[in-house]
Structure 1
Amino acid sequence: MSTMLEDRVTQNQPTHGTRLQAETTAARLHIRWPGTRKSLSRDQKLQAAGAFDADSRTLSAAKRLFDTSHPSFRAVSAIKSKASALWKGMTLPYIEPGVRLLRRGDVSEFDDRMIVIQVELSDAVDELDLSFAELVDQARNQLGHLFDPADYPDSVSDLFGITWDFPSVTPPAYLRTVNPQLYEQECQRVKAKFAEAVELAEQTFAEELSQLVGHLAERLSGSVDGKPKVFRDSAIANLNEFFGRFQHLNIGSNDDLNQLVENARQVITGVDPQDLRDRSSLRERVARSLTEVETSLDELMTDRPRRNIIRGPR
């Protein structure tokens, strides 16, 4: 009797994939960005090949249109990186290209922060636009005969953009009425995708933690020229950032992974970077404990190898 009751309770409990689907929404980031390199023309490739007595068909050559290390362009690129980091940092991976899963309770915060980044990009592009004539003049001097004024617009203000949306990853509701059987098939397909997304999230978390603890353990172990290896405070800050993100995004689908994350957190809780530099015994203890976590993570990932997720055409 009790077994039958337990079976019914288990069947009624949502799977981790079902929970993930219920608690998240799809989020997609779109970045519009101009190319900074351009392939040489056929005649230019022939000329380049002739300089080396080479067959032009075996030569691949491109010119850099302008100096991407210019402060104004670097400022724009930094905002692009900021947008990507925010999108990835607030979301879990999904098996469809370009789509990630955002907790529904985080939608407003994500939208607000992306709007701020969008404004920052607009201001930075305006600054780049003011400097663009300088960049073109510089390119004219650097490229010589390869310079082509047709490669450069009068303004770059419309060439950059960051937008985002929340695409549906569930079957359309109308399908339930039009073709109930097909609707059910699509529901099962989506369910399977979210089950795979759970595994993908676990693998991603495990790999990231393994890299973080492995890096810090390596920096804390041994010495160079008789002196302890140098490590940055960010090695610990990155771990603490990971713990916060894991706690917020994790759906508790893997007890072993949860325990290893907790083990790593306990190792560095209350540890001051300067203490690690000053106290060799503390360095050794922390390095040893982190290495144990890394080994356990490697075993966990070996036991559950990365799925070969087949994606459809983009």
Structure 2
Amino acid sequence: MNIQNLTKRVMLATFNTSVWRARKFDTRATEEVEANHDTKDIGRFNKKLLTEGATSYKEVCAIANRARAYFDAHSLDYDQLGVRLLPTDIYMEVADRQRQFQDEFTAATTVFISDYPRLKEEARNALNGLFDDADYPTQAELAKKFGMRLAVLPFPDASQFDIALPDNVLDGLKADIDSRVLGAVKTANDDLVGRLFEAVQHFANRLYGATNVRLDVADKVRELSALLPKLNFSGDPALTHILDETRQHLTAYSGLDLRNSSDLRKQVADKAMEIEAQMAAFMGGPPASQVAAVPTSPMFDLLIA
């Protein structure tokens, strides 16, 4: 694996959203509860500052959640908290979609802030004696509490690490960087394969156990088969083979094809188990979060023998 080539094919990326929490710890209410129950430090009373009818606020939060889910799905695990790997092959697609999310988020935030005075009055009535005007920022202050940003940085490249240290120390640091890079590639590839493993396992189990196959049975595997090759920045031959096998053998048939033929269902399910075994071997074992249901197939006996 050529580390220099890798650094040209992937970036470090962060995606941050900020949203006003619309909740507040109420000291007085907490003390009242403790006094009524003659106890101390048993909990904290956090008020919801908006009512359930605050749909404009909920829409802002929903867009932020969708944007986060999209970013996580189109990037890969990295060893550093809050940072993910974003392959260059998918960067333009992700950047364009995040700009759309940003526009939606900004528009929804504008609607919410305009609606804020009315929602505050609704909360005043709903909270009754618990309402405190000091809990609510002004509209100008509120606007600063919302944001969305995608940021990228270069992937670590030891060959570009040139600082004023003795050569023997610098060489050691470069070797450590290269080691961490290879570890990061392993983490990312395991993330990629782990996603596919879960979908393929579920797909196989549905085919083995179903007497009435749903037409969307292969949708998740088909979706990942289109996405994951764009995330395969390392070009690992074993990983590439797994992705090719999945696309060729598991997404070639429609849900209707699989529903209408029990022989085809078994053939495809057996192939899915085969590919599942390849993925487990690639990762050094199934993902820890996966506990496979036992399919009624001879292939399963072969795999666990």
Smaller-chain TM-score bracket: 0.7 to 0.9
- Aligned-residue offset at 1:239: 1.7
What code does the residue aligned with 1:56 have?
K
What code does the residue aligned with 2:204 have?
A
Out of 11, 32, 37, which is 1:47 matched to?
A: 32
CA 279–132 in structure 1, closer or farther in 2 if over 3 Å, else same? farther
Q: Matches of 2:283 and 2:11 in 1, distance apart?
A: 27
Q: Once the two structures are superposed, what CA deviation does each residue of 1:163-183 show, in whole Å capped at 9, x if it has no partner?
A: 122234547999735325354
- Corresponding residue for 1:205? 192
- Corresponding residue for 1:311? none
CA 112–258 in structure 1, closer or farther in 2 if over 3 Å, else same? closer
Q: Which runs of 5+ in 1 are unaligned?
A: 1-14, 307-314
Out of 91, 102, 107, which is 1:123 matched to?
A: 107
- Corresponding residue for 1:138? 122
- Corresponding residue for 1:6? none
Q: Matches of 2:247 and 2:74 in 1, distance apart?
A: 20
Is it true that 1:240 corresponds to 2:222 in the alignment? yes
What code does the residue aligned with 1:264 have?
T
- Corresponding residue for 1:189? 176
- Aligned-residue offset at 1:34: 1.8
Please show how residues 254-293 of structure 1 align to structure 2 within 5 Å: 254-293=236-275
Q: Sequence identity of aligned pairs in percent? A: 25
- Corresponding residue for 2:15? 29
Q: Matches of 2:13 and 2:60 in 1, distance apart?
A: 23
Over the residues paired in the alignment, what is the CA RMSD in angstroms?
3.2
Asked if 2 retains the 8 angstrom alpha-carbon contact of 1:170 and 1:187, the reply is no
- Aligned-residue offset at 1:303: 4.4
Q: Matches of 1:304 and 1:191 in 2, distance apart?
A: 27
Indicate the SS of the match to 2:81.
coil
CA 19–277 in structure 1, closer or farther in 2 if over 3 Å, else same? same
Asked if 1 retains the 8 angstrom alpha-carbon contact of 2:259 and 2:265, the reply is yes
Please show how residues 66-215 of structure 1 align to structure 2 within 5 Å: 66-67=50-51, 70-104=54-88, 106-155=90-139, 156-168=142-154, 170=156, 176=162, 178-179=164-165, 181=167, 182-215=169-202
Q: Matches of 2:263 and 2:119 in 1, distance apart?
A: 54
- Aligned-residue offset at 1:49: 3.1
Asked if 1 retains the 8 angstrom alpha-carbon contact of 2:203 and 2:221, the reply is no
Asked if 2 retains the 8 angstrom alpha-carbon contact of 1:221 and 1:283, the reply is yes
Asked if 2 retains the 8 angstrom alpha-carbon contact of 1:220 and 1:228, the reply is no
TM-score, length-normalised on structure 2? 0.77
Indicate the SS of the match to 2:273.
helix
Asked if 1 retains the 8 angstrom alpha-carbon contact of 2:7 and 2:156, the reply is no
Please show how residues 295-306 of structure 1 align to structure 2 within 5 Å: 295-303=277-285
What code does the residue aligned with 2:64 have?
K
- Aligned-residue offset at 1:123: 0.6
CA 220–67 in structure 1, closer or farther in 2 if over 3 Å, else same? farther
Indicate the SS of the match to 2:144.
coil
TM-score, length-normalised on structure 1? 0.76
Indicate the SS of the match to 1:29.
strand
- Aligned-residue offset at 1:54: 5.5
Q: Matches of 2:161 and 2:39 in 1, distance apart?
A: 57
Q: Which runs of 5+ in 2 are unaligned?
A: 289-305
Q: Matches of 2:101 and 2:61 in 1, distance apart?
A: 12
Asked if 1 retains the 8 angstrom alpha-carbon contact of 2:158 and 2:174, the reply is no
Question: Which range is displaced more, 184-193 or 156-165?
Answer: 184-193
Asked if 1 retains the 8 angstrom alpha-carbon contact of 2:30 and 2:43, the reply is yes
CA 106–68 in structure 1, closer or farther in 2 if over 3 Å, else same? farther
Number of residue pairs aligned between Structure 1 and Structure 2 = 285
What code does the residue aligned with 1:44 have?
A
Indicate the SS of the match to 2:47.
strand
Q: Once the two structures are superposed, what CA deviation does each residue of 1:88-138 show, in whole Å capped at 9, x if it has no partner?
A: 344333222222223345545544433332222111111112322333233
Indicate the SS of the match to 1:93.
coil
